[in-house]
Structure 1
Amino acid sequence: MKEIRTEIVIKASPVKIWKILTNFERYPTWNPFIISIQGTLAAGNIIQVELAPPDAKRMKMKPRVLRVIPNQEFRWLGRILIPGIFDGEHIFELRDNKNETTTVIQREIFTGILVPFLKKLLDDNTRRGFESMNSELKKICEANSEGIPGN
C-alpha cells in the first residue's frame, strides 16, 4: 500500500469549494492535473477521468464513485485492468475550519502488485500533480466571489 496526501487551507467556505470541485465542465479552464471528468457524481456511477501528471504520460481511466457527501467529501476507485494489479482510491475532503477557511485534503491510497514498481512516479509526478491542482483551486476560490475563471 502507498498513500499520497496533500492539503491546503483556502479562504472560502466548503460550499464554494464544493461548487468548483464538482463543476467538471470547468476543469479544463483551471485544473492542471485532472484535466477532464465526465459523468454524474453519484455513488456507484462510473465516471471518465483524464489525468495529466507533471512530466508523465496522460492517463485515462473509468473509476467508480464510492462516496459523495455534499460539501464534505467525494471519492472514487480506479483500477488498471483487474483488481489487485494497480488500484487507486482518490479522495477529496473538505474540512470547515470555522474561521472562514476550509482545509482541502486531496489524497490517494494505492494498492496492488505494481505499487512498489511505481513508487518513484507516485512520490514525484503524482504528488506534484496534487499540489499544482490544490494551488490552482486556492487561486480560483480566493480570486473572485463566484470562484469561476474569467469572472
Structure 2
Amino acid sequence: MRHQIRTQIDIDATPDEVYAVVADVAAYPEWNPTIVETDGHGRLGEKLRLRMQPTQGGGMTFRPTVTEAEPGVAFEWLGRLGVPGLFDGRHRFELTDLGDGRTRLVHGESFSGLLVRPLRRMLDDGTAHDFEVVNAAIAQRVAERRGVGAHRRPGPEAPTGRSADAPEPGRAAGLV
C-alpha cells in the first residue's frame, strides 16, 4: 500500500536560502522541533542518523539515505523501518521560485509497505501536523538567517491580533 502526505508553505526567501536550511542536517537540532539529534551532513548518497521526536508519541532513531541534494531545487532522503517493503518513507523538500525573493516549499513524504495501512491514521494526524510545525520552523530559521528577526506572539501592546512590528497576516514567518 502507498500513502502520501504533502504540505506547503511560501517563504520570504530565495530557493537557495531555504535549501541552505533544509539541507543543513547537522543543524536540525538547533531549530527542528521533531528531529532532536543528527549525524550526517546531507550529501548525496550519505547515510544519515536522525533521532526523531514527534509532537505526539515516542521517539525513534532511523538511518535514511540522501537520494537527492540539488541546491535551490530539492532535498530528499529514503528511510526504511527494518527490511525494504515493510515501511519505507521518501521524505522530500521541494523548492519552487515564486519570484520577488519568495519560495514555495513543498514538504512531504511518500510511504509504502506492509505497515502503511495500519499506521495510516497516525500518519494523517500526527505526521501531517508535525510537517506543518516543521514548515513554520523552517520559515523562522530562514528569517533568522536573513536577519529579519523572530515573529512574536501578539502581546498586550498589539490588541489587533498581531505584533506592531509583525508583517502582514499570512506572511509572518513565511506563512501563507
Structure 1 length-normalised TM = 0.90
Task: Give the equivalent residue in structure 1 for 2:44.
Answer: 43
- Residue identity in the other structure for 1:24: V
* Cα 1:144–1:63 shift into 2, 3 Å: closer
What does residue range 132-151 of structure 1 map to in structure 2 within 5 Å? 132-143=133-144, 145=146
* Percent of residue pairs identical: 33
Aligned in 2, Cα 1:105/1:60: closer, same or farther, shift over 3 Å?
A: same
* d(CA) in 1 for partners of 2:142, 2:117: 36
TM-score by length of 2: 0.78
Contact map agreement 2:40 2:48 (CA 8 A) in 1: yes
Quick check: 1:140–1:147 contact (8 Å CA) kept in 2?
no
Q: What is the DSSP-based 3-state SS (H/G/I as helix, E as strand, rest coil) of the residue aligned with 2:99?
A: coil
1:84-133 per-position Cα deviation (integer Å, ceiling 9, x unaligned): 10000001111110121100111100000000000011011111110000
Measure, in 1, the Cα distance between the counterparts of 2:120 and 2:91. Answer: 16
Contact residue 50 and residue 63 of structure 2 kept, 8 A: yes
Distance 1:39 1:25 in 2: 6
Q: Which residue of the partner structure matches residue 165 of structure 2? A: none
Structure 1 residue runs of 5 or longer lacking an equivalent are: none
For residue 68 of structure 1, report the CA deviation from its aligned partner: 1.1
Shift in Å at residue 136 of structure 1? 1.3
1:53 Cα deviation after fit: 1.4
Let me know the Cα RMSD of the aligned residues: 1.8
> Unaligned stretches of 5+ in structure 2?
151-176
2:99 equivalent to 1:102 = no
C-alpha separation in 2, matches of 1:26 and 1:148: 18
Q: How does 1:1-150 map to 2 (within 5 A)?
A: 1-143=2-144, 145=146
Moved more, 25-34 or 85-94: 25-34
Higher strand share: 1
Which structure would you say has the larger RCO, counting Cα contacts within 8 Å and 6 or more residues apart? 1
Aligned-partner residue type, residue 102 of structure 2: T
Alpha-carbon contact 1:12-1:102 (below 8 Å) kept: yes
Consecutive aligned runs of 4 or more in structure 1 exceeding 6 Å deviation? none
